Amino acid sequence: MTGIGQHRTCQEPVLDVERIRRDFPILQQDINGHPLVYLDNAASYQRPRQVIEAISHYYERDHANVHRGVHTLSHRATEAQERGREAARRLLNARSTREIIFTRGTTEAINLVAASLGQSLHPGDEILISHLEHHSNLVPWQLVCERTGARLVVVPIDERGELRLDEYHRLLGTRTRLVAMAHVSNALGTVNPVEEIIATARAHRVPVLIDGAQAIAHQAVDVQALACDFYAFSGHKMCGPTGIGILYGREEWLEKLPPYQGGGDMILSVSFSGTVYNDLPYRFEAGTPHVAGAVGLAAAIEYLEDLGLAGIERHETRLLAYATEAIAALPGVRIIGEARRKAGVLSFTIEGIHPHDLGTVLDHQGVAIRTGHHCAMPVMEHFGLAGTARASFAFYNTVAEIDRLVAGIGTAMRMLGA
Amino acid sequence: MMAETDLGRLYQDIVLRHSRSPHNQHCLPAPDARAEGHNPLCGDRITLYLQLDDGTIREAAFEAVGCAIALASASMLTDAVTGSRRDQALALAAAVQARLSGDDTGGDLGEIEALSGVRAYPMRVRCATLPWRTLEAALRGAHRTVSTETDGR
């Protein structure tokens, strides 16, 4: 058991971060002669021992193919897979596991909706996205638009990196067939006002897909309260394995959509004259699933639930505020993305030092950050940049690690500065 | 464990001198040859301009957005190829790329040797080779953008 350790005098539980860190074997190592400071969590989280052990245990004791055998191991594997689905349902507070589809990740989840919903699009129809999107919530829609003659409409952002809600209201129109937007921007950390985005779209009877990749490990998400139609996230951005993700789809929508890929498991009966598709959610899951991924995902969800997402959010908010203040105070630093609501991400540039050079110097001191365009080239273009340095935080990061980051930036400035 | 000296070898004084004040960093209004290079992984972009006179490079200049390594490499390139014949410049481009990628040991490359610190940083080799690939494209008259993510290096 890990998690909420000490209590302050008020009721707000505080994360026992030192204890939590002991759950993460990867954090216990030196990189280039220094204790690792891992601040690239927006790209991928690290995994606690509980997740790694759950996957090992599955392969050592329970593995077989699912839904196919009458033998004990096939039954165990099927149960393991479905426990993962139930854990994802619980995390999102979906009504039913019929609404939980396993995918390879957020990208495939979005591509699934694009491929299936795209079949009913016509020339002149519009897909509404934002200027903040990761390429994975942009390129699938471009492909659909090329195929169908539909039009991609982009809601602009302002100089703080916030969505222009006035423009959103203006661009959402009678031709809009879907709104697809990030919950949290991976490049800037902007938290979008998804409640308002969804409520407005629903008033126009337009379905909404939320790309939750960057939000899921940082705050509690309730798809019923949000009333979104689709919500996508990845296991690896929430302490789970790579290669597994979830598409939540409101049942009424999933019932209407044609299948995504064909193959085993997504069918009830097959003959050369025709095929009867399986029921939800299996209709959208062709082929042998990533059972070990589902097992790891369940373990990751249980781990986060154990810590409590409210405590995680408070801890990360504190880290972000501390890091923002410390880094903004350095000479020549420009913070990129100053939205009023941000989560876990600090993007910045330093005058005279290219992000890649900064990344290399920091790596030498054991500090891992991301540098570049963060798969969000339109966002970089908006700020007139080729890339930024990005530090992104998880619940296992500490203030002392941010001090190491700041010290490392100081070294880079002395070494590379003009 | 990577030693501090590796970082010192990457960012040698001569590299930093070139990156802080690159030589020939401007455009040529009517170049005889020109090419663009792009590293989509990090966003580095370079445009290389050449003024040729009967197969000899009379003037080389560049414009770039890039890291210290890319800027230093482009700056050294323009110094090195000015006055070279086309075939000499192509041979130098091949030799530099071989050296930076670690496939070669022979030959003295002068101050360009200072870039070979990238060999300890596989993810940074492309930063140093991009200007040289762009030079090849310009001399071969390839009217397209070369990318670090296509055709080999």
Q: Is the peptide bond before A35 cis (omega within 30 degrees of 0)?
A: no
Using a CB-CB distance cutoff of 8 angstroms, which residues of chain A are in contact with residue B3? 33
| A96 shares a domain with A9 | no
Question: What CATH number is associated with residue A400?
Answer: 3.90.1150.10
Residue at B136: amino acid letter: E
Do A261 and A137 sit in the same domain of this protein? Answer: yes
SS3 call for A342: strand
End residue of a domain, out of A254, A281, A305? A305
pLDDT attached to residue B152: 41
Smallest Cα distance from B43 to chain A, Å: 5
| CATH code at position A226 | 3.40.640.10
- Do A136 and A167 fall within a single domain? yes
Test A354 with B2 for CB contact under 8 angstroms: no
Could you tell me if A168 and A197 are in contact, meaning their C-beta atoms sit under 8 angstroms apart? yes
In angstroms, the CA A6 to CA A15 distance is 7
B52-83 residue pLDDT tens: 999 999 999 999 999 999 999 999 999 999 99
Q: Which of A273, A288, A305 is the last residue of a domain?
A: A305
Distance between CA A46 and CA A287 in Å, rounded? 28
Please judge whether A32 and B127 are an interchain contact, meaning their C-beta atoms are less than 8 angstroms apart.
Answer: no
Q: What is the pLDDT along chain A (418 residues), one digit of tens a residue?
A: 444 444 444 556 689 999 999 999 999 999 999 999 999 999 999 999 999 999 999 999 999 999 877 899 999 999 999 999 999 999 999 999 999 999 999 999 999 999 999 999 999 999 999 999 999 999 999 999 999 999 999 999 999 999 999 999 999 999 999 999 999 999 999 999 999 999 999 999 999 999 999 999 999 999 999 999 999 999 999 999 999 999 999 999 999 999 998 888 888 888 888 888 889 999 999 999 999 999 999 999 999 999 999 999 999 999 999 999 999 999 999 999 999 999 999 999 999 999 999 999 999 999 999 998 888 889 988 998 989 999 999 999 999 999 999 999 999 999 998 6
Cβ-defined contact of A357 to B69 (cutoff 8 Å):
yes
Determine whether the interchain pair B7/A356 forms a contact, defined as Cβ–Cβ distance below 8 Å.
Answer: no
- Which candidate, A365, A364, A330, A362, places its Cα nearest to that of A348? A330
Is A357 in contact with B2 (Cβ distance < 8 A)? Answer: no
What is the predicted pLDDT for the residue at B150? 61
- Of the residues B6, B15, B42, the best mutation for testing chain A's interface (the one with the most A CB atoms within 10 Å of its CB) is B42
The predicted model scores a pTM of: 0.91
d(CA B142, CA B139): 8
Q: B43 in contact with A at a CB cutoff of 8 Å?
A: yes
Nearest Cα residue in chain A from B6: A364
In angstroms, the CA B138 to CA B131 distance is 10
Interface predicted TM-score of the whole assembly (ipTM), two decimals: 0.86
**3-state secondary structure at position A86:** helix
User: What total number of domains does chain A contain?
Assistant: 2
Q: Which one of B1, B4, B7, B121 makes the best mutation probe of the A interface by having the most chain A beta carbons within 10 Å?
A: B7
Can you give the residue range of the structural domain that contains A272?
52-305
Verify that A230 and A248 share a domain, yes or no. yes
Q: Are residues A356 and A299 in the same domain?
A: no
Is B151's pLDDT higher than 80?
A: no
Interface contact B108, partner A, CB < 8 A: no
* Sequential DSSP letters for B29-74: SS-SEEEEEEETTTTEEEEEEEEEETTEEEEEEEEEE--HHHHHHH
d(CA A398, CA B3): 26
A10 noted as active-site residue: no
Give me A191's structure tokens.
Answer: 């938290």
Q: Based on the domain organization, do A298 and A380 belong to the same domain? A: no
Residues A331 and A353: their CA atoms lie apart, in Å, by 12
| Domains of chain B with CATH codes | 4-147 (3.90.1010.10)
Measuring CA to CA, which residue among A169, A124, A181, A117 is closest to residue A144?
Answer: A117
Residues B3-49 pLDDT 10s: 557 788 899 999 999 999 999 999 999 999 999 999 887 778 999 99
Contact between A130 and A229 under an 8 Å Cβ cutoff? The reply is: no
Interface test with B, best of A357, A358, A375, A413 (most B CBs within 10 A): A357
Cα of B52 to nearest chain A Cα, Å: 31
Residues in CB range of A35: below 8 A, 6 or more apart: A29, A366
- Closest residue of chain B to A35, computed from CA coordinates: B1
- State whether residue A11 is helix, strand or coil: coil
Q: Is A179 in the same domain as A323?
A: no
Q: What is the pLDDT of residue A128?
A: 98
pLDDT of residue B144: 59
Contact residues, B window 111-150, toward A, CB-based 8 Å cutoff: 121, 124, 127
**d(Cα A182, Cα B24) in Å, to the nearest integer?**
43
Contact assessment for residue B130 and residue B66, using Cβ atoms and an 8 Å cutoff: yes
A14 and A123 belong to one structural domain: no
Chain B contact for A387, CB < 8 A? Answer: yes
**A316 and A281 assigned to the same domain:** no
Distance between B83 CA and the closest CA of chain A, angstroms? 31
- Residues of chain B positioned with their CB less than 8 A from the CB of A361: 7
Q: Where a domain ends, among A278, A305, A332? A: A305
> Does the structure show a pLDDT above 70 at B1?
no
Of A30, A386, A416, the CB nearest to B68: A416
Q: Does A383 touch chain B (CB under 8 A)?
A: no
Task: Tell me what pLDDT residue A245 has.
Answer: 98
* CB contact at 8 A, A131 and A379: yes
Hey, what amino acid is at A284? F
For B102-127, what is each residue's pLDDT tens digit? Answer: 877 677 899 999 999 999 888 899 99
Same domain, yes or no: A347 and A216: no
State how far the Cα of A100 lies from the Cα of A285, in Å rounded to an integer. 10
Quote the pLDDT of residue A297: 98
For residues A29 and A58, membership in a common domain is answered with no
What pLDDT does B101 receive? 87
Residues of A in contact with B65 (CB under 8 A): 386
* Same domain assignment for residues A260 and A322: no
